[in-house]
């Protein structure tokens, strides 16, 4: 039939019919995609308000899902960075265990003795599976002074191997020497904010500060890091580190509890062997009978990550539920647009099919239009999340990752395909004669 119709009588919108009989399959597909894109663009422009309102559900749904994913990813990244300051392959020997439950059985652990410095020395000398053993203690807020300048910061007392288990970046000066540690000399490493507050417009290296009435010489200033979203141990820029023996001397009358930190080798089996070795030495040291429970806790920082990951899983599930309902509404909106589009172009579909257009060509044409509409709505939602990333939620940096962008786009494509397939199939199965006669 196409060979007998004058080309001038064929509507321009049926150009796809002539393209479909191209001998080159690659060109045919390319032209069909371009034609489908043109139809979709015309549908967007023909009734902009209707299309915008229909796509609003997809936009809100993609925004809800990707926003939750982006915030959760940003929080996890910040927490992992904070836990990185505690070191990897590290266990902490403490009085209180990490227990994440509705009711914390504190009465079981209240009578436990705190780890002691002698136990630290025992583990340091006897452990075979440890790369480093550290004694550490701290106070949350201690006033530090230099003349008229003062600041409250966290004070930590540590043994020499502290730099082996925790990140201690130094911008100026140096780390402690073994002699300074053993002799309990009054030397200190201070955070960048402490240095800026106590020594404005001058170098802190070689200067002295007062801590609890005693003078300490500043030998190093830490790199400026800023507080993380969940900074374990407080803001590293507001911290002061001194030798553990100096700390014990400073607070001899009211010494805070001691934590023993042990770094193992790079494997879970190595950590398990290390924990078993620690248990054996400490149980023997504390004269515990085989039937008695441990009077100490061996904690891993990974337990905190596991607990927080469970909370994030709930948040992610909630994001899918909220976004799913919004996308369901948006999907019905897309289906409505496509049914209207099929109705408006019934006559044109008949002309295309009479000129030789295959059913799959009509199907793909309308299906591509539905997918494009959904992707446009999804991209608007992703754009809103990107704008959200410029906001500062406390100390949390929100970063939209390429993975979340790809996820949002993929979900949009799936929604467009699901809700566009029925109108597209309806258009593809039309009888060309009945379609041409329709008004």
pLDDT for the residue 241: 93
pLDDT band at 7, cuts 50/70/90? very low
Q: Which pTM value belongs to this model?
A: 0.63
C-alpha–C-alpha distance, residues 121 and 126, integer Å? 9
Q: Are 142 and 211 a contacting pair, CB within 8 Å? A: yes
pLDDT band at 379, cuts 50/70/90? very high
Each residue of 114-151: pLDDT tens digit?
898 899 999 998 988 888 899 998 888 888 998 888 99
pLDDT for the residue 61: 86
Helices 25-46 and 48-84 pack at an angle, to 10 degrees, of 110
pLDDT at 306 over 80: no
Classified as helix, coil or strand, 20 is coil
pLDDT band at 18, cuts 50/70/90? very low
pLDDT for the residue 228: 58
* Interior/surface letters 416-428, b for 16+ CB within 10 angstroms, e for the rest: beebbbebbebbb
The two tokens of residue 92 are 């902490």
pLDDT at 188 over 90: yes
DSSP letter at 238 equals: G
The beta strands (E) that lie in 237-378 are given as 239-243, 259-263, 297-299
The two tokens of residue 10 are 């064929």
The beta strands (E) that lie in 228-357 are given as 239-243, 259-263, 297-299
Average pLDDT on 355-365 reads: 80
Average pLDDT on 407-435 reads: 88
Of 76-80, 333-337, 385-389, give the lowest mean pLDDT range. 76-80
pLDDT for the residue 433: 79
pLDDT for the residue 2: 41
C-alpha–C-alpha distance, residues 340 and 362, integer Å? 15
What percent of the chain lies above the pLDDT cut of 70? 82
pLDDT for the residue 30: 75
Residue 267 or 431, more confident? 431
Query: How high is the mean pLDDT of the chain?
Result: 81
pLDDT for the residue 233: 58
pLDDT band at 87, cuts 50/70/90? low
Of 56-70, 77-91, 338-352, give the lowest mean pLDDT range. 77-91
Q: Which of 62-76, 193-207, 287-301 has the highest mean pLDDT?
A: 193-207
> What number of other Cβ atoms are within 10 A of residue 220's Cβ?
20
pLDDT for the residue 14: 43
The beta strands (E) that lie in 208-296 are given as 208-211, 214-222, 239-243, 259-263
pLDDT for the residue 410: 92
The two tokens of residue 143 are 């006033």
Long-range contacts of 385-391 (CB under 8 A, 24+ apart): 385/63, 385/66, 385/67, 385/70, 388/67, 388/70, 389/70
Query: Quick one: which of 98, 93, 86 has its CA closest to 308?
Result: 98
pLDDT for the residue 257: 81
Residue 196 or 109, more confident? 196
Each residue of 316-339: pLDDT tens digit?
888 788 888 878 888 888 888 888
pLDDT at 242 over 90: yes
pLDDT at 101 over 90: no
Query: Quick one: which of 108, 141, 107, 135 has its CA closest to 120?
Result: 135
> What number of other Cβ atoms are within 10 A of residue 390's Cβ?
7
Question: Where do the H-state alpha helices sit in 127-161?
Answer: none
Q: How wide is the angle at C-alpha 13 spanned by C-alphas 9 and 18, nearest 5°? A: 75
> What number of other Cβ atoms are within 10 A of residue 111's Cβ?
8
- C-alpha dist (Å) from residue 265 to 167, 259, 306, 345: 17, 20, 21, 70
pLDDT at 15 over 60: no
Average pLDDT on 29-41 reads: 72
Q: Are 92 and 264 a contacting pair, CB within 8 Å? A: no
DSSP letter at 219 equals: E
Query: Quick one: which of 198, 160, 207, 162 has its CA closest to 179?
Result: 160
pLDDT at 11 over 60: no
């Amino acid at each position: 039939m196409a060979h007998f119709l004058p080309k001038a009588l064929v509507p321009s919108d049926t150009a796809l019919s002539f393209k479909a009989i191209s001998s080159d399959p690659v060109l045919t597909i390319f032209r069909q995609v371009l034609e489908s894109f043109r139809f979709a663009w015309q549908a967007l422009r023909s009734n902009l308000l209707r299309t915008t309102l229909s796509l609003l559900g997809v936009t809100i749904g993609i925004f809800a899902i990707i926003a939750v994913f982006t915030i959760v990813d940003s929080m996890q990244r910040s927490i992992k960075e904070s836990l990185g300051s505690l070191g990897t392959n590290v266990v902490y020997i403490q009085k209180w265990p990490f227990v994440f439950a509705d009711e914390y059985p504190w009465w079981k652990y209240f009578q436990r003795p705190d780890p002691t410095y002698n136990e630290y020395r025992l583990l340091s000398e006897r452990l075979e599976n440890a790369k480093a053993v550290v004694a550490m203690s701290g106070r949350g807020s201690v006033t530090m002074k230099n003349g008229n300048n003062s600041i409250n910061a966290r004070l930590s007392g540590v043994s020499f191997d502290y730099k082996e288990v925790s990140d201690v970046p130094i911008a100026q000066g140096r780390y402690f020497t073994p002699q300074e540690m053993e002799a309990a000399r009054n030397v200190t490493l201070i955070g960048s904010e402490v240095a800026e507050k106590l020594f404005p417009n001058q170098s802190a290296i070689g200067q002295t500060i007062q801590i609890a009435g005693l003078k300490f010489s500043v030998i190093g200033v830490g790199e400026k890091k800023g507080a993380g979203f969940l900074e374990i141990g407080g803001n590293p820029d507001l911290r002061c580190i001194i030798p553990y023996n100096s700390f014990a001397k400073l607070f001899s009358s009211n010494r805070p509890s001691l934590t023993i930190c042990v770094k193992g080798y790079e494997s879970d089996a190595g950590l398990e062997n290390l924990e078993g070795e620690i248990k054996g030495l400490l149980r023997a040291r504390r004269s515990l009978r085989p039937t008695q429970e441990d009077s100490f806790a061996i904690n891993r920082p990974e337990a905190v990550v596991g607990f927080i990951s469970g909370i994030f899983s709930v948040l992610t599930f909630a994001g899918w539920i909220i976004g799913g309902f919004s996308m369901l509404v948006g999907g019905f909106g897309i289906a409505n647009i496509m049914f209207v589009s099929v109705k408006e172009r019934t006559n044109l579909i008949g002309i295309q099919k009479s000129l030789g257009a295959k059913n799959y060509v009509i199907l793909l044409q309308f299906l591509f239009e539905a997918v494009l509409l959904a992707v446009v709505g999804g991209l608007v939602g992703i754009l809103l999340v990107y704008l959200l990333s410029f906001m500062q939620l406390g100390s949390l940096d929100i970063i939209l990752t390429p993975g979340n962008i790809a996820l949002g786009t993929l979900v949009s494509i799936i929604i467009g395909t699901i809700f566009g397939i029925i109108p597209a199939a309806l258009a593809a199965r039309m009888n060309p004669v009945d379609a041409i006669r329709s008004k």
